[in-house]
Amino acid sequence: KIRYGVYRIGFLHIGALSAQNTECNKKCRGAHMKKLFKMSAVILFVLIVFSACGRNESVSGKITSFPPYGERVVTAIGDSIAAGYGLDSQEDNYLTLFSDNIGAVLNNDAVSGYDSGEVLKSLSDEKTAADIKNADAIVVSVGGNVFFSPQGHYDRRT
């Protein structure tokens, strides 16, 4: 059933249709939720972009001077993203590019295919533990394989 009503607000007379068909209400509500979700996503994106803009205090270009102490060491642990899965060459890996840019040695202990539980277990490995202990910077990449895997394909206890 669809009802038509006239509502009076002050000197305005507003006509309105009222849908009482539940199927129509479900469709309309679903469309409204999709529109609300899209608008929320756009607003969130705009907020993230503007929060990243910040003040004009950023430094661009290659860093050329460091404090005068020994060789820099960057250690990476994690999953496929840190390991460079799918790249033609490890030279294209973002960790290799980062380490080369700052003049550091890279110890990449990340393994393609690891989920968060396996990354946690890898911390017990002697080589990984030693690399972490000797690192000036540690890069952790966890959750990519879990996020991109089919639902239920990973261990939820980790």
| pLDDT single digits (tens) 137-146 | 888 888 776 6
Confirm whether 59 is domain-assigned. no
Is the pTM higher than 0.85? The answer reads no
Distance of alpha carbon 156 from alpha carbon 19, whole angstroms? 44
Q: For residue 151, is pLDDT > 90?
A: no
Phi, then psi, of 156 in degrees rounded to 5:
-75, -10
Number of domains observed in the structure of the chain: 2
Confirm whether 126 is domain-assigned. yes
Spell out the residues 6+ positions from residue 149 whose beta carbon is closer than 8 angstroms to its own: 115
Q: For residues 140 and 71, which has the higher predicted lDDT (pLDDT)?
A: 140
Q: What is the pLDDT of residue 130?
A: 92
Which domain covers residue 91, as residue numbers?
Answer: 72-148
3-class DSSP state of 141: strand
Answer for the pair 109, 77: CB distance below 8 angstroms, yes or no. yes
Confirm whether 64 is domain-assigned. no
